[in-house]
Amino acid sequence: MVVNQTELQEEIMQIPKWWSYPEGFEKLIEKAHELGKKELLPRASISDKECRYPRESLQAIADAGFGAVTIPVDDGGLGAGLTGFALLAESFSQYCASTTMCWVMHTAAVQTLYTAGTREQRQRYIPGVLKGKIGALAFSEPATGSHFWNVVSSAPRKGNGYLLNAEKSFVTSAGEADWYIVCTNYPNSIEDDPLMFLIVDHNQKGIEYFPFSAMGLRGNSSGPMKFKDVFVPIENRLGTEGGMNVYNENVIDPLFLLGTSACWVGIAQGALNAAIDQAKKKVHKDTGKSVAGYQVIRHELAKAQILIDSARSMLYRTAEGMDQCLNSGKELSECLYPLWELKTHAADIVIQVTNQALQVSGGRGYLTGQVEKFLRDGRAGAVMGPTNEILREWIGRTLIGVPWFE
Ligand SMILES: Cc1cc2nc3c(=O)[nH]c(=O)nc-3n(C[C@H](O)[C@H](O)[C@H](O)COP(=O)(O)OP(=O)(O)OC[C@H]3O[C@@H](n4cnc5c(N)ncnc54)[C@H](O)[C@@H]3O)c2cc1C
């Protein structure tokens, strides 16, 4: 029987584009994937092997106009909103998760600076960011671990500034960023909470960086940092002397939870795409069937895609909800509950899907390469703060009608 290829093609179900991505962002997605293929993917495995910071890839992202995606166009940003941010993070992470994670933290840092900063601070930092300078968030401390909102470090006043002493356990882009937003306590705060944010430039005296050696996201440089008697001038304080927890809930957590969730969805999709590709190509001589020709394998692929799409649907529903919230003048803290569910789910499914992708790829999937790298990179999701245990507790508390925050 002669199979007519055109007829066969016509019988293949076309997945509607709206199912995967919100409408109106087609050009942005296309540009992100072009950039991913051309700039991020070729450097991804070397960055992983050598724990090399993906500076060139981050520079390429800035050169493409994605250095300040959430900042309004009038202030020099891309004005792509949180939906654009999520779309870019999901797309980039299919090519290089380390680059994407650094970029997500950078974007959250830039948005924090923009929201909490003065006009002068914006003018001092945003132009550099557009040219490729990198920002980072130094929050988590060894003393309080996952409870990154409860830091123990402090920065009392000294002359026309503050004397910062802090130990940080994980800082993505440590030693590589151009500036850090350091979360610390102001001991004499009269605000509701003592949290204070200081912008610390990378070349200030008294900063020490330590290497990052991890299972995945190995290019991230997410190592510890120490700030010993670092003098931070008063003009580098963001917002008030204490009282900055409100920015955790309205800027940092929302952007961080959304951006990292997008990474986990992208990693899961990248792993599944690689597995599908291999399953179609590998043909067993004895049965004459490809791996994809076995029904049990196709079911595994289907189960994995359904999991990804469940997280992806939550991702874009949440991102669009956040944009609507901002456009109607509301606070992003109103979106925390959906973000908690989203992050927990995305970080759970990436573990499951990357495992399925490895299984479908067989022994070749276990060899050092694309699929096992996706598995290692994706495993970070559940342990990155707020960790999945903490988020489930907050969700559970909300469900039984008690305050989520102790
Ligand atoms: C790759 C990577 C990049 C990171 N980048 C940054 C960054 O740029 N900036 C930054 O500030 N931080 C960063 N972090 C830190 C991150 O946000 C978490 O703070 C950190 O991963 C928590 O690890 P820990 O060892 O301190 O956990 P621990 O606090 O020691 O937790 C150990 C276990 O106990 C559980 N647990 C802890 N507290 C509770 C609780 N109250 N209830 C129930 N269970 C609990 C945790 O879920 C976990 O399973 C990064 C971490 C990683 C892995």
Q: Which residue's C-alpha comes closest to atom 40 of ligand 1?
A: 390
168 CA to centre of ligand 1 in angstroms: 12
Q: Which residue's C-alpha comes closest to atom 21 of ligand 1?
A: 384
> Does residue 92 sit in the same domain as residue 209?
no
> Does residue 172 sit in the same domain as residue 223?
yes
How far apart (Å, rounded) are the C-alpha atoms in residues 227 and 217? 24
Q: Which residue's C-alpha comes closest to atom 14 of ligand 1?
A: 170
> Does residue 315 sit in the same domain as residue 334?
yes
> Does residue 258 sit in the same domain as residue 380?
yes
- The CATH number for 37's domain is 1.10.540.10
- The CATH number for 225's domain is 2.40.110.10
210 inside domain: yes
> Does residue 249 sit in the same domain as residue 376?
yes
> Does residue 271 sit in the same domain as residue 365?
yes
- What angle in degrees, to the nearest 10, is found between the helix axes of 370-378 and 97-116? 40
Give pLDDT tens digits for 368-396.
999 999 999 999 999 999 999 999 999 99
> Does residue 130 sit in the same domain as residue 142?
no
Listed residues 198, 220, 238: the one ending a domain: 238
What is the Cα 387 distance to its own chain's centre?
A: 14
Give pLDDT tens digits for 177-200.
999 999 999 999 999 999 999 999
How far apart (Å, rounded) are the C-alpha atoms in residues 52 and 261? 23
> Does residue 99 sit in the same domain as residue 157?
no
Report how far apart the first and last C-alpha atoms of the chain are (Å, whole number).
70
Listed residues 211, 238, 265: the one ending a domain: 238
Which residues' Cβ are closer than 6 Å to ligand 1? 105, 137-140, 145-146, 148, 169-172, 217, 220, 222, 380, 383-385, 387, 389-390, 393
Residue 10 pLDDT: 80
Q: Quick check: 267 and 280 in contact, CB under 8 A?
A: no
> Does residue 325 sit in the same domain as residue 380?
yes
359 inside domain: yes
144 CA to centre of ligand 1 in angstroms: 9
Q: Mutate which of 100, 101, 140 to test ligand 1's pocket (most atoms within 8 Å of Cβ)?
A: 140
1 inside domain: no
> Does residue 334 sit in the same domain as residue 250?
yes
Listed residues 178, 204, 238: the one ending a domain: 238
27 CA to centre of ligand 1 in angstroms: 36
> Does residue 278 sit in the same domain as residue 385?
yes
385 CA to centre of ligand 1 in angstroms: 5
| Beta-ladder partners of 181 | 137, 199
Residue 2 pLDDT: 60
What is the number of structural domains in the chain?
Answer: 3
Enclosing domain of residue 159: 138-238
Q: Mutate which of 139, 183, 383 to test ligand 1's pocket (most atoms within 8 Å of Cβ)?
A: 383
- The CATH number for 256's domain is 1.20.140.10
Residue 3 pLDDT: 60
In sequence order, what are the residues at sequence separation of 6 or more whose Cβ sits closer than 8 angstroms to the Cβ of residue 90? Answer: 262, 263, 265, 266, 269, 312, 315
22 inside domain: yes
3 inside domain: no
40 inside domain: yes
Could you list the mean pLDDT of each consecutive 10-residue stretch along the chain, which spans 406 residues?
71 94 95 98 97 98 98 94 98 98 98 98 97 98 95 98 98 98 97 97 96 97 98 98 96 98 98 98 97 98 98 98 97 97 98 98 96 98 97 98 90
Q: Which residue's C-alpha comes closest to atom 44 of ligand 1?
A: 389
> Does residue 46 sit in the same domain as residue 162?
no
120: number of Cβ within 10 Å = 9
Written as six digits, the tokens of 74 are: 């009038």
> Dihedral (C-alpha) 150, 192, 114, 318: value to the nearest 10 degrees?
70
Residue 61 pLDDT: 98
How far apart (Å, rounded) are the C-alpha atoms in residues 151 and 143? 8
